[in-house]
């Protein structure tokens, strides 16, 4: 629900070497010295560079000064910001060379919040390239650039325009992005590239990816497609891994990675393997676990020499041969197993699971697993709140919202995030929690805080959360999200003047915004059935940014789903981080309609706030790298002074996938409160 702020560098090639987090950090240090001394000279650089984490362990200030003095005749020469960036890159390369790289690593990627350089193994890059070449080779637009060569930087160059990552998101979760909103010209201008990046990143968050950072060279680290079937809904046969109902509840709450480990240990135990695996790195390095696993799953392809091999590399090679004979493509090499590459080993095991899970197809067990799944509405709500909670940046990753909140700890983390300082951590117990009363204590504090925040919690106690009352949990989470949303709007003081924002304020703003654009659409409430065709939202989006909606793609009433899908992608492309599904618009889900409207409102008001702030400021001409809001007074697509801007995603993600099916009395009170 945020606008995106970027630092503009006139040289696109130079800008592409940095993430926005890096640029903002470096720019702030540069400006601080400039404000203090009136200008930045070469002599100022050693003290700046020596304090950066990227170089602090490699160079001291004197060493940096010596290197600079060898190449500069005048240490008092003034340094512009772009020259400072070039010096930074030079020392970055020196630091990498001095530290030395992994023998199997070559491609350098930057960290998410520092200026450190990280490496990615060639095998890992080859895995990504193979995946892209396999799944996108027939894509109408990308096939002209495929196949990608894993031995050069084509992968990173192709990712710059954002099209590839958008397409990969749709491979992982089909239909996430309306591909009509992706800018797919062969040559994109900086504004269009940024739109694709924004759409990609907001969509990645909405399907549960962990966004490493934002920028042309940054990657979206998602295992969505790889582990998509590792849940009871997609693979009810997984119920075989559980002995009783308690085990099933535990299985439901496990992350896909842990389910995969449980599956592997299940088969290894049957094979007589004595160890219990706890990771996909050190525990599988010797290749023995793989040999036992494959012998159980595909005994017809077994080679007795695998377990007899003394050399780990020889055994790893025989393991890969065995897997290849049963239909698994060879993504990794023996050294990846021996060195314990967790990502590659995870991918390898996931591929084995997909090819041959070895699980029962017992009808009774499958039927029991299918009974454990939620109704559609509850699943949509759970999905929405899970992704919203994870997007807040809490320490605990939520895999199953109904199970993971039952100890109260995750809810305390969320509460502390949206209202810092509200949690008394001295009275909270961190997981794992063995004593049930400790869970109740945590949840009682959650309820107490909710009441202090004026949530509607009639007849709700901490034990209701511990017991996993889904309706009450959903009702509480909705109020958390709504509170978060309204607080962010309230914090825009130029608009709210510190007053509480109400649902009526959001409704009036939306109607007035559409009216101010010369259109006549109007809604009476967030339950207005006319919202189902999506036209009001398209007019609202067009009112806040006229160029963002292509009216040639809009249908009237023939296919509401097309419009709903388009609205979500346009909002994300604009910069709104939302989680609702097309069904929420088509069914006019009141709560989710409210959050979508508020997300657009927040984005728009931020642009107005930024415009006012930038109008009152007068940056010096030399500061070409000024902080710019990509949304404020959005320039024409064809303007000549645009630069590649990659902003950062807001901490507020008002999100939506939900429903009106909350608990009886609590839900009614929430509706009354709205």
- Could you tell me which CATH number the domain at 132-221 has? 1.10.418.10
Confidence check: pLDDT of 202 > 60: yes
Q: At the topology level of CATH, where does 499-663 sit?
A: Actin-binding Protein, T-fimbrin; domain 1 (1.10.418)
The confidence band for 376, taking pLDDT boundaries of 50, 70 and 90, is: low
The pLDDT of residue 253 is 67
For residue 128, what are the CA distances in angstroms to 133, 154, 168, 502, 597?
9, 12, 11, 46, 37
Q: Would you state the structure tokens that stand for residue 20, as one six-digit string?
A: 């926005």
| Residue 256 parent element (H or E) | helix 256-271
pLDDT tens for each residue of 306-320: 888 888 899 999 999
**Residue among 201, 182, 173, 177 at smallest CA distance from 141:** 182
Query: Is the fold of 132-221 the same as that of 499-663?
Result: yes
Q: Is the pLDDT of residue 270 over 80?
A: yes
208: left (phi over 0), alpha (psi -120 to 50) or beta: left
* CA–CA distance, 231 with 608 (Å, rounded to integer): 44
Ranges of each domain in the chain = 17-100, 132-221, 236-370, 379-490, 499-663
Fold for domain 236-370?
Actin-binding Protein, T-fimbrin; domain 1 (1.10.418)
Higher pLDDT, 57 or 538: 538
Asked if residue 599 has pLDDT above 50, the reply is yes
What is the predicted pLDDT for the residue at 642? 31
Q: Does residue 121 surpass a pLDDT of 70? A: no
SS3 call for 420 = coil
**What's the chain's average pLDDT?**
77
CB 535 within 8 A of CB 554: yes
Stretch (H or E) spanning 291: helix 288-297
Q: What is the pLDDT of residue 16?
A: 63
CA pair distance 542, 534, nearest whole angstrom: 12
Identify the pLDDT of residue 667. Answer: 34
Instruction: Record the pTM.
Output: 0.63
CA–CA separation, 382 vs 194, rounded Å? 31
Give the dihedral sign, CA 128/129/133/134: negative
Q: What pLDDT shows up at residue 116?
A: 38
Query: What is the SS3 string spanning 537-586?
Result: HHHHHHHHCHHHCCHHHCCCCCCHHHHHHHHHHHHHHHCCCCCCCHHHHH
pLDDT above 70 covers what percent of the chain?
A: 75
> Under a CB-based contact definition with an 8 Å cutoff, are residues 155 and 128 in contact?
yes
Is the pLDDT higher at 224 or at 624?
224
Whether pLDDT at 515 is above 90: yes
Helix (H) or strand (E) holding 5: strand 5-7
Gap between the Cα atoms of 530 and 520, Å rounded: 13
Q: What is the pLDDT of residue 645?
A: 25
Radius of gyration (C-alpha) of the chain in whole angstroms: 27
The CATH number given to 379-490 is: 1.10.418.10
Range in 3-17, 326-340, 469-483, 490-504 the model is least confident about: 3-17
Q: Give percent of the chain with pLDDT exceeding 90.
A: 24
What confidence category does residue 355 fall into, taking pLDDT thresholds of 50, 70 and 90? confident
């Amino acid at each position: 629900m945020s606008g995106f702020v970027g630092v503009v560098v006139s040289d696109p090639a130079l800008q592409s070497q940095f993430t926005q987090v890096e640029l903002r950090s470096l720019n702030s240090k540069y400006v601080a010295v400039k404000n203090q001394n009136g200008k930045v000279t070469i002599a100022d650089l050693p003290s700046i560079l020596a304090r950066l984490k990227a170089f602090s362990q490699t160079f001291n200030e004197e060493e940096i000064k010596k290197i600079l003095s060898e190449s500069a005749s005048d240490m008092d020469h003034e340094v512009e910001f772009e020259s400072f960036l070039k010096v930074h890159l030079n020392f970055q390369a020196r630091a990498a060379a001095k530290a030395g790289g992994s023998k199997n690593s070559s491609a350098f990627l930057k960290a998410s919040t520092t200026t450190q350089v990280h490496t990615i193994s060639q095998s890992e890059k080859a895995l990504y390239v193979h995946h892209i070449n396999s799944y996108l080779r027939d894509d109408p637009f990308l096939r002209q650039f495929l196949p990608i060569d894993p031995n050069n930087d084509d992968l990173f160059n192709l990712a710059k325009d954002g099209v590839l990552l958008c397409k990969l998101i749709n491979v992982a979760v089909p239909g996430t992005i309306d591909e009509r909103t992706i800018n797919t010209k062969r040559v994109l201008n900086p504004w269009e590239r940024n739109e694709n990046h924004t759409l990609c990143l907001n969509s990645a968050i909405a399907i549960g990816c962990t966004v490493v950072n934002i920028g042309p060279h940054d990657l979206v680290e998602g295992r969505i497609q790889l582990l998509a079937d590792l849940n009871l809904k997609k693979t009810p046969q997984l119920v075989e891994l559980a002995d009783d109902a308690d085990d099933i509840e535990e299985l439901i709450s496990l992350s896909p990675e842990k389910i995969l480990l449980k599956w592997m240990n299940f088969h290894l135990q049957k094979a007589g393997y004595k160890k219990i695996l706890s990771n996909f790195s050190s525990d599988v390095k010797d290749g023995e676990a793989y040999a036992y696993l494959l012998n159980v799953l595909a005994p017809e392809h077994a080679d007795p020499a695998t377990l007899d091999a003394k050399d780990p590399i020889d055994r790893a090679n025989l393991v890969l041969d065995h897997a290849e004979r049963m239909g698994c493509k060879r993504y990794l090499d023996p050294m990846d197993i021996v060195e314990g590459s967790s990502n590659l080993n995870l991918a390898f095991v996931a591929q084995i699971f997909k090819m041959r899970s070895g699980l029962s197809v017992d009808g009774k067990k499958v039927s029991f697993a299918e009974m454990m799944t939620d109704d559609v509405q509850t699943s949509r709500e759970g999905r929405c709140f899970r992704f919203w909670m994870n997007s807040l940046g809490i320490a605990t990753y939520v895999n199953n919202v109904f199970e993971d909140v039952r100890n109260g700890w995750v809810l305390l983390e969320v509460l502390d995030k949206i209202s810092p300082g509200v949690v008394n951590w001295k009275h909270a117990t961190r997981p794992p929690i063995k004593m049930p009363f400790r869970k109740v204590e945590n949840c009682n504090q959650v309820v107490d805080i909710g009441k202090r925040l004026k949530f509607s919690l009639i007849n709700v106690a901490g034990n209701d959360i511990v017991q996993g009352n889904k309706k009450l949990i959903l009702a509480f989470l909705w109020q958390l999200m709504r509170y978060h949303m309204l607080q962010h709007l309230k914090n825009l003081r130029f608009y709210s003047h510190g007053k509480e924002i109400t649902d009526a304020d959001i409704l009036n703003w939306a109607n007035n915004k559409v009216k101010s654009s010369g259109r006549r659409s109007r809604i009476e409430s967030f339950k207005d059935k006319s919202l189902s065709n999506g036209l009001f939202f398209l007019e609202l989006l067009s009112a806040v940014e006229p160029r963002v909606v292509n009216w040639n793609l809009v249908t009237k009433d023939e296919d509401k789903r097309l419009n709903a899908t388009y609205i979500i992608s346009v909002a994300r492309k604009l910069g709104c981080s939302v989680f609702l599904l097309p069904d929420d618009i088509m069914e006019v889900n009141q709560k989710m309609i409210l959050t979508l409207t508020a997300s657009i409102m927040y984005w728009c008001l931020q642009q107005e706030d930024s415009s006012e702030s930038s109008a009152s400021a007068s940056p010096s001409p030399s500061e070409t790298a000024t902080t710019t809001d990509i949304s404020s007074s959005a320039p024409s697509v064809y303007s000549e002074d645009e630069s590649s801007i990659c902003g950062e995603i807001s901490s507020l993600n008002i999100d939506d996938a939900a429903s009106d099916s909350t608990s009886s009395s609590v839900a009614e009170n929430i509706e009354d409160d709205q």
